Amino acid sequence: MARSKSRMHSATLGGSPDEVEAAFYEALRAGNVDRIMSVWADEDEIACIHPGGQRLRGAGAIRAAFEAMFADGGQLDVKIASIHRVDALACAVHHVLETIEVKTAHGAVPAYVLATNVYHKTAQGWRMVAHHASPGTAGEALEISDAPKHFH
């Protein structure tokens, strides 16, 4: 728990895009909406798209969606991999593969999500300004893992 608090503290005090991202996914795993929202920028135009969902704009809409997601007290077992970063002085874009363990009557089944997280450097430090997640497949997960690390 101390490690999680330390990472969240670093992220809320500025941190790097990687620290903010780690804090976001830790908060998702914990189902803690306050911590999830603490990594977002304080801007009207922040946006979030969940797999198969509509575009949510603004902190109120994003918070409401995460509150609904965790309304039953659930947690999300999510791990990220295959991170591709595009970093600049005041903007960072991370393309990640999320593997989510979905609990069913027959046991846990992995689900794959392709996500793009966008971070801006603000007066408060690095903050998330967009999270766009799309359904993926196990085949895409393998393709991403084997893909070259550069684009032309």
Kindly report which listed range (30-39, 44-53, 75-84, 135-144) carries the lowest average pLDDT score.
135-144
Residue 2 has pLDDT above 80, yes or no: no
| pLDDT tens digit sequence for 57-113 | 999 999 999 999 998 877 788 999 878 999 999 999 999 999 998 777 787 888 999
The pLDDT assigned to 14 comes to: 63
User: What pairing do the DSSP bridges indicate for beta strands 55-57 and 47-49?
Assistant: antiparallel
Higher local confidence (pLDDT), 10 or 39: 39
| Half-sphere exposure of residue 30: CA atoms within 13 angstroms, side-chain side | 16
Residue 139 has pLDDT above 90, yes or no: no
Give the other-Cβ count within 10 Å of 151's Cβ: 7
Which tokens go with 71?
Answer: 């309304």
SS3 87: strand
Grade residue 13 by pLDDT with cuts at 50, 70 and 90: low
Quickly list H helices, 39-104.
Answer: 59-69
Q: Which domains does the chain have, with CATH numbers?
A: 2-146 (3.10.450.50)
| pLDDT tens digit sequence for 86-102 | 999 999 999 999 999 87
| Half-sphere exposure of residue 36: CA atoms within 13 angstroms, side-chain side | 23
The pLDDT assigned to 79 comes to: 92
Q: How far apart are CA 89 and CA 17, in angstroms?
A: 11
